[in-house]
């Protein structure tokens, strides 16, 4: 092989290496090491507990989870929020008497979310108060026939409303000054933790919910790909800083 040919091969190899280096470094960064990654906020009270990891005592953050409640869907099949484990979904509440006239904003919101996220569920909890009769499913099945199969309708009787609403999706959080509107739509992650509240009557909030749904999915992808990954909880870190100053 001539010297000129060797030089060409050498130059080509160097150029190829320089082009490939950024990609190699990127994948090295993603697949190794500890990454402090910002995530969507967690809503609801949190608990700091002591735990042991690799023989060391460390602090761990336990986030509030939607509690278990036995309910029924409008087709009379059982439903429990525990069934949504490992699934991302959107939830909201609606008076049962308004089932035959679901607000257009909710229909638009659900169509936007379900249209862009095929793996997401949209759950409408129908608040059923004492004195209201529950018509048989055949009475409202035609109303729901054209809806997406990922849109679930769940009846919440009066005696269970507080346990699923006030003590669940809209639980009191001492770290939040203003409680979210009880008719907001709620973004829930795969561990049944609230990650976002949005006003379905505001177009910008619907757009925001779509964007944050995408972001939440990426959290799980990153969590899977990294060797070690943990949440950099700002409230815990702020507490540590305050203690140091004292």
Domain with residue 96: its CATH number is 3.40.30.10
Average pLDDT over residues 8-35: 61
pLDDT value, residue 239: 40
Q: Would residue 16 count as lying in a domain?
A: no
Percent of the chain beyond pLDDT 70? 67
> Has residue 207 been placed in a domain?
yes
Rounded Cα distance between 232 and 246, Å, is 22
> What pLDDT was estimated at residue 228?
42
Distance of alpha carbon 19 from alpha carbon 15, whole angstroms: 6
How many domains is the chain built from? 1
Alpha helices in the chain (DSSP H): 3-31, 104-116, 137-144, 158-164, 203-225, 234-245
Q: How distant, in Å, are the alpha carbons of 86, 117, 193, 207 from that of 114?
A: 17, 5, 20, 13
Quick check: is 56 in a domain? no
* Residues spanned by the domain of 171: 46-51+61-228
Q: How confident is the model at residue 169 (pLDDT cuts 50, 70, 90)?
A: very high
The alpha-helical segments, DSSP class H, found in 73-177 are: 104-116, 137-144, 158-164
Residue 208: pLDDT band by 50, 70, 90 thresholds? very high
| pTM exceeds 0.75 | no
- For residues 228 and 181, what is the distance between their CA atoms, to the nearest angstrom? 36
- Whether residue 113 is contained in a domain is answered as yes
Which pLDDT does position 192 carry in this prediction? 94
Exposure string for 99-115, b = 16+ CB within 10 A, e = fewer: beebeeebeebbebbbe
pLDDT class for 64, splitting at 50, 70, 90? Answer: very high
Residue 28 falls inside a structural domain: no
Domain membership flag for residue 39:
no
The better pLDDT of the pair 218, 243 is held by: 218
Does residue 129 form part of some domain?
Answer: yes
* pLDDT in the model for residue 225: 53
State yes or no: pLDDT of 2 exceeds 80.
no
pLDDT of 24-46, one tens digit each? 555 555 555 555 566 788 999 88
Q: Is residue 84 part of a domain?
A: yes
């Amino acid at each position: 092989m001539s010297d000129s040919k060797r030089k060409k091969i050498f130059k080509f190899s160097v150029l190829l290496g320089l082009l490939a280096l950024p990609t190699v470094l990127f994948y090295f960064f993603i697949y190794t090491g500890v990454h402090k990654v910002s995530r969507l906020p967690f809503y609801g009270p949190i608990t700091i507990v002591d735990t042991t990891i690799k023989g060391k005592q460390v602090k761990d953050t336990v986030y509030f989870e939607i509690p278990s409640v036995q309910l029924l869907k409008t087709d009379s099949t059982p439903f429990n929020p525990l069934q949504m484990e490992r699934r991302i979904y959107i939830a909201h509440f609606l008076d049962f008497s308004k089932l035959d006239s679901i607000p257009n904003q909710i229909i638009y919101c659900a169509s936007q979310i379900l249209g862009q996220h095929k793996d997401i569920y949209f759950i409408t909890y129908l608040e059923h108060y004492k004195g209201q009769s529950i018509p048989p499913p055949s009475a409202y099945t035609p109303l729901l026939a054209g809806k997406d199969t990922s849109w679930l309708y769940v009846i919440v009787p009066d005696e269970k409303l507080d346990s699923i609403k006030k003590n669940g999706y809209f639980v009191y959080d001492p770290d939040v000054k203003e409680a979210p509107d009880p008719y907001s739509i709620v973004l829930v992650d795969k561990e049944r933790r609230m990650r976002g509240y949005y006003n379905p009557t505001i177009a910008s909030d619907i757009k925001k919910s779509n964007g944050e749904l995408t972001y939440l999915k990426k959290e799980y992808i990153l969590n899977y790909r990294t060797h070690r990954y943990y949440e950099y909880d700002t409230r815990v870190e702020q507490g540590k800083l305050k203690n140091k100053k004292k």
